Structure 1
């Protein structure tokens, strides 16, 4: 059975979003959410969830290079927990240590694509 997956590169100003599936095992960047406040951000996410009907949500989990948690790690975990609570979808966290750094010009959607591709490559 094909699973549609939405992935998120969480940031306080921008949230990158990518989509992929378990049949082709490929991810593509979708959009960058830059709404002013949390409510508007979650409305934009809700619209994407309604459009794509994903079975799984993947959230990038930022850590220090040695794997230690920092402030954004906790914020990304909270974001993933909010996604689960609001949309009743399974959430999986993926180590994103080097994805945002490896993406040019802060393209958060491309970072989300790399996070999702990493997940798909491991499954």
Structure 2
């Protein structure tokens, strides 16, 4: 991977919500940004487009869910497709990050939405793995 410099957006993809986090390659600190709850796929990409225009990321990171043993499950392929759509629509390099244990780290109270914090964990994991 070439050395990148600038802002990175991370996404915790879900069918109902997409958590978004932001960080930069200088500070290497991830921060929760927002939760996209649009009803349709097109509406979700409209919201993502606004974030791309506002933050001008050099890279997008998408969490890749897997079973604890590393095998794929139903959401694995959906997240890979979402990552491909991000790269194709916006022309920004996109990387997948194993998110197997990100939700275990976050314990939400009933009804609390944590998707943006999950995205921040995914991005922080990316920063920690790319020294």
TM-score above 0.5, yes or no: yes
Number of residue-to-residue matches in the alignment:
123
Matched residues in 2 for 1:2 and 1:57: separation? 13
Q: In terms of Rg, which structure is larger?
A: 2
Correspondence for 2:73: 70
Question: RMSD value over aligned CA atoms?
Answer: 1.0
Query: CA-to-partner distance for each residue in 1:4-24, whole Å, 9 max, x for gaps?
Result: 100000000000000001100
2:19 counterpart (16, 20, 41): 16
Are the counterparts in 1 of residues 5 and 58 from structure 2 also a CA contact under 8 Å? no
Instruction: Confirm or deny: 8 A CA contact 2:64 2:99 kept in the other structure.
Output: yes
Identify the match of residue 97 of structure 2 among 94, 98, 108. Answer: 94
TM-score normalised over the length of structure 2: 0.91
Give how far 1:98 is off.
Answer: 1.1
Instruction: Name stretches of at least 5 consecutive residues in structure 2 with no aligned partner.
Output: none
Instruction: Give 3-state SS (helix, strand or coil) of 1:18's partner.
Output: strand
Of Structure 1 and Structure 2, which has the larger fraction of its residues in helix? Answer: 1
Q: TM-score, normalised by structure 1?
A: 0.97
Question: Deviation above 3 Å: which 4+ runs of structure 1?
Answer: none
Q: What is the rounded CA distance, in whole Å, between the counterparts of 2:103 and 2:82 in structure 1? A: 17
